[in-house]
Amino acid sequence: MKMKKEHTLACDILKSMDIAVLKRTAPRTYELFGSLPDFYCDMFSHETGQPSRQPWTLSPMLSFFLEDAESFFEQKKTGTLASSMWQEDGKTTKDTALISIAATYDEHQVLMIRLLRDYQERVAGLRHARTQALKNRNLSSKLEYYKKKSRIDDLTKIFNKATFMDLLKDEIKRSIMLDYSLALLIIDIDNFKRINDTYGHLKGDAVLEKLGRTLSDSLRQNDIVARFGGEEFVVLVPQLTEEQSFNVANKLREKIAGAEYGDIPGITVSIGYTLYTPHETIESFIDRADSALYSAKTNGKDRVCPGSVSSSRFAFAPG
């Protein structure tokens, strides 16, 4: 009886917060959970007036997010995955927006849809951020634009340091606005001077070019990859937990070590990573990742080390 009352109370709280919950029972199959807030019944109901268990069929933006949510669930990831805020034509007002969150709680997988009220300024800010992000990240269609502005590294054909710093500022603002995590990885090629001295600078350039291509091919479309200078690269990855950040870094380390670089054997990298701490400066964010990289270098190279706010239990060196 007590558990039933607690369940009812939890459902009432979610409803009062304008949060609709759908419980995942199978791939792309969901059941409505608890009491539904009024906005859901208004926006996501059939012509019969019955609330839909497939709201993504009535919302292109939600349909787009569902693909990411299903991948999140199928990989049995823990924690949460949040969409961007969006507005539904003819359904939301200029002062309201929607956001969806995929979450795993113990064995339960749920999709939540929330109505955000009085968010006109944040929606406008998000639209601006989204526009800027699309301009910055759509590398294939905007390549000439960035070349004219000297925004692409000539050798590796990925972003250069100046572009990365601009994108980093935008991404930090966006992560604060939408309350999601941001991981920074700094990657350095081990013994690169010896590669240049032994095989020549042209072969060294080929290694840099191959490594930039490997990084780009190994990450998601919205992740940001740049050459930071010399043999150093940076990767900015949103919406990862600390453990997921380590896993991404270590998979990159393994993929780079397993790639072929012509007649140059044994290419390895050291990687330092950290998560953004709210209100810290960009300089502090980069310094913490750089300190982690220094730890990886001084502790034997070819390894991943966490920054100061990350748990040392995720430090890894090949056996």
Q: What is the pLDDT of residue 91?
A: 86
| Higher local confidence (pLDDT), 194 or 124 | 194
Residue range 169-187: mean pLDDT, rounded: 89
pLDDT at 161 over 50: yes
Nearest to 222 by CA among 238, 241, 201, 242: 238
1-10, 59-68, 164-173 — which is least confidently predicted? 1-10
84-98, 103-117, 190-204, 241-255 — which is least confidently predicted? 84-98
| Higher local confidence (pLDDT), 247 or 140 | 247
Determine if residue 200 is left, alpha or beta; phi over 0 gives left, psi from -120 to 50 gives alpha, anything else beta. left
Residue 188 and residue 292 in contact, taking contact as beta carbons nearer than 8 Å: no
Which band of pLDDT confidence, cut at 50, 70 and 90, is reported for residue 206? very high
Return the amino acid letter for 311.
Answer: S
Report the percentage of the chain scoring pLDDT > 90.
51
**Rounded to 5°, angle at Cα 288 from 286 and 290:** 70
**Residue 40: strand pairing partners:** none
3-class SS letters over the chain: CHHHHHHHHHHHHHHHCCEEEEEEEECCEEEEECCCCHHHHHHCECCCCCECCCHHHHCHHHHHHHHHHHHHHHCCCCEEEECCCECCCCCCCCCEEEEEEEEEECCEEEEEEEEEECCHHHHHHHHHHHHHHHHHHCHHHHHHHHHHCCCECCCCCCECHHHHHHHHHHHHHHHHHHCCCEEEEEEEECCHHHHHHHHCHHHHHHHHHHHHHHHHHHCCCCCEEEEEECCEEEEEEECCCHHHHHHHHHHHHHHHHHCCCCCCCCCCEEEEEEECCCCCCHHHHHHHHHHHHHHHHHCCCCCEEECCCCCHHHCECCC
CA distance 121 to 252: 38
List the domains of the chain with CATH numbers.
2-118 (3.30.450), 123-314 (3.30.70.270)
pLDDT in tens, 272-308: 999 999 888 999 999 999 999 999 999 999 999 998 7
Instruction: Give me 161's structure tokens.
Output: 């340091």
CA atoms within 13 Å, Cβ hemisphere of 164: 23
Its pTM surpasses 0.75: no
CA distance 278 to 102: 23
Strands 224-229 and 29-33: unpaired
| Higher local confidence (pLDDT), 57 or 146 | 57
Return the amino acid letter for 181.
Answer: S
The residues carrying an active-site annotation are 231
> What order do you get walking across the sheet with 29-33 strand by strand?
29-33, 19-26, 108-117, 96-105, 79-82
35-44, 113-122, 260-269 — which is least confidently predicted? 113-122
